[in-house]
Structure 1
Amino acid sequence: MAALMLSGQRDPLLVPEVSQHEVQVRQGFTGTELLLFGAVLDPAGRTGQGYDIVVVLKGPSEPVRLREKERFAGVWVNAQSTDFRSVPSFFAVAASRPVSEIVDEKTAAIYEFGTGYIQLSPSGSINPAEQLRFSEGLVDLKQRQRLYKQNMNGVQISQNVLYQARISLPSNVTTGTYTAETFAVTDGRVIASAEATVEVRKVGFERFVEVSANRWGLAYGLIAVFLSVGMGWGAGRLFARL
């Protein structure tokens, strides 16, 4: 009987939600804060079982070429470079406690539980030590741009059932579909996961400019050049009369 009862036990279910499923970027956008919350439901009705929660929010991936600058004859010039095929435009992790206390390094690397575990997909052949240096440099650059972040005490859990985390999006976020993955962990093992999405898109005049540049690139470029030349000529004529 005990064996049958154990075989019928199932892992808990995650029910995630996001405060905003759409973020509108318009003129004067200064960033926003997302509230990621939800519940851990135990099908067996067990109570009091402790869980750790890790939330990973990722923006659209994009290829990136990272160049290293070095000083030559008193001038900064481009030196060695490397390419990454798939770099998240935004990456944030929030956890109920330090990830090192929740899972081992192998599990953290599999699920990208931290900025040190982002899978950047480098391309080409390069010395592993140099590749690591470039990867760390890219992460550091993104962190200084407030696009990569982690908060190892950023998830609050209530009564081992409800959880919530707050992650801020800066004003320089890339538009596109963002995925918020939530993981429930116990005894160093991920026992449940769920995903929610957030759409970040431009609206108003910014949207018009973006669409115009993508659909009619040549015309958009020519108009931009003519406007720049016209404004420069007009400013020159104005100051010539003063």
Structure 2
Amino acid sequence: MTRAGRTVHGILLVLALLFGAAPAAAERLVISASQPDVRITSNFTGAELVLFGVAEGTSSGPYDVAITVRGPQETAVTWRKSHILGIWLNTDSRTFLDTPSYLVVATNRPATAIASAEILRREQIGLARNILIQRVGPDFADVVPDDSFRAAFLRIKASEGLYEEQPEGVRFLSDTAFRATFALPGRARPGRYEVSAKLFRDGAMQAQAHTTFTIQKAGFEASLAEFAERDGLLYGLAVACGALLVGFAANLLFRRD
């Protein structure tokens, strides 16, 4: 074989290794949110977000899907109360750093039936498996799931409608198409929300997709919030003057001669 022939043969061999050994078409996940922007007005009491998705590939399933929605990060403090001399007092606290203000995990069936505990922990599927960094003295750590402060934090968030786990929250419309519905409470923080969807088959993750949506103030509330952030001093003076005017008007209306 000539030198040129050996070169062509080597190129063909490399191409065969790169493309011939790979599967003809790997699974691909596509998702889309019903509302890319959620507007908060004066009568905002919450909203409903619907997420649609479809799995594309050579296989028709059966598939499992896990979807996680995370809101803007915040720092929160959980307190422990103790009964001292007949009075309940805050005696200890734990600070949670950069935690999601909103966290909902939805799956088409219980997460433990989808994949192994190791995979679920690595992919942070489920409230108990999401990393929540705490300040413990001078250190920072994600403590064990049954830590009392962590349990209290999750319980408080759940009672506010901000944290939730939906073991049957994903519904398949066909073998490859699915949808999930997420409730956004009235106290959901404005900002950018991250949506992560992961596709499983036979306990192994096949594909994942990401999208975002935004909650933002609109109308007079948005203008007032922008004014307060841009001109804090003027906003404070305006509020003080408004309070004085209201007090003066109330005095005129209700004074006794």
Give the TM-score range, shorter chain. Answer: 0.7 to 0.9
Partner of 2:129: 117
- Give the Cα separation in 1 of the matches to 2:243 and 2:68: 43
Pair 1:183–1:80, CA change in 2 (3 A) = same
CA drift of 1:133 comes to 1.1
Q: Is the 8 A contact 2:65 2:197 kept in 1?
A: yes
What letter is aligned with 1:61?
A: Q
Q: Which moved more, 1:32-41 or 1:154-163?
A: 154-163
- Give runs of aligned pairs for residues 213-232 of structure 1, distance below 5 A: 213-232=228-247
- Give the Cα separation in 2 of the matches to 1:220 and 1:33: 33
- Give runs of aligned pairs for residues 156-171 of structure 1, distance below 5 A: 156-171=171-186
Secondary structure class of the residue paired with 1:142:
helix
Partner of 1:58: 70
Q: Any unmatched runs of 5+ in structure 2?
A: 1-16
2:61 matched to 1:49? yes
Specify the structure having the higher radius of gyration (Cα): 2
What TM-score do the two structures reach when normalised by structure 1? 0.88
What letter is aligned with 2:221?
A: E
- Give the Cα separation in 2 of the matches to 1:164 and 1:15: 12
Q: Which moved more, 1:118-127 or 1:193-202?
A: 118-127
Deviations 1:95-128 (A, max 9, x none): 1100011122222222221222221111233896
CA drift of 1:58 comes to 0.9
2:195 matched to 1:180? yes
Pair 1:37–1:219, CA change in 2 (3 A) = same
CA drift of 1:16 comes to 0.5
- Give the Cα separation in 2 of the matches to 1:130 and 1:189: 24
Secondary structure class of the residue paired with 1:27:
coil
- Give runs of aligned pairs for residues 31-42 of structure 1, distance below 5 A: 31-42=46-57
Aligned-pair identity in percent equals 27
Secondary structure class of the residue paired with 1:195:
strand
Pair 1:163–1:130, CA change in 2 (3 A) = closer
What letter is aligned with 2:33?
A: V
Secondary structure class of the residue paired with 1:160:
coil
Q: How many residues align?
A: 237
Deviations 1:3-29 (A, max 9, x none): 997643453000101100000000101
Partner of 2:163: 148
2:111 matched to 1:99? yes
What letter is aligned with 1:158?
A: L
What letter is aligned with 2:165?
A: Q
Question: Which one of 166, 174, 195 corresponds to residue 210 of structure 2?
Answer: 195
Secondary structure class of the residue paired with 1:219:
helix
What letter is aligned with 1:222?
A: L
Partner of 2:89: 77
Q: Is the 8 A contact 2:61 2:176 kept in 1?
A: no
CA drift of 1:84 comes to 1.4
CA drift of 1:150 comes to 1.5
Q: Any unmatched runs of 5+ in structure 1?
A: none
Partner of 1:138: 153
Partner of 2:32: 17
Pair 1:130–1:209, CA change in 2 (3 A) = same
Q: Which moved more, 1:145-154 or 1:224-233?
A: 224-233
Secondary structure class of the residue paired with 1:173:
coil
- Give the Cα separation in 1 of the matches to 2:63 and 2:146: 36
CA drift of 1:167 comes to 0.8
Moved over 6 A (4+): 3-6
